[in-house]
Structure 1
């Protein structure tokens, strides 16, 4: 084994050491995720998901190529490591990865 000094970055997690513990941040991952979705200049919302909103597979027209949707949702799942406040919304959209619709994609963009 080899000591490579203090831990500062590991698997996308930025680690900051303090006198009272360690702080984890995914700020770089978050900014990369926003640029991947092309929404870097959009306004923010206070809640990631509407209260009592229900999403089903019959919500509208399905997306022809769901690859981008799946990539964004999987990145959001990783983001819940440091953002547990979005875990309910991410859980809801991750259940629809097999047949996403445009409404579901809009919901993912709102979570971002």
Structure 2
């Protein structure tokens, strides 16, 4: 049986999912993948105080370059989109948000 006209095999994404939720997931994952540069920039800022704008330019540039590489990678977007769709499917099936599913349940009540 053929799918009804106008439907695609790929799941429909709402505007908020495409433009907000998936990019947020990308930012979070990119920060993890660039954690060494995030730590270097944070350390520099903590040590420099008000002079951080001048003293931490190199660390800031390295961090921006690392993050931008991930933000502009279409394969990384697709990877995050697939992960988002899995989480959305699990939520729709269970009604339990991913954050709550990841928390440990008490072993005794």
TM-score norm. by structure 2 comes to 0.25
Q: Say which structure is richer in helix.
A: 2
Q: Which has more radius of gyration?
A: 2
TM-score norm. by structure 1 comes to 0.25
Q: Say which structure is richer in strand.
A: 1
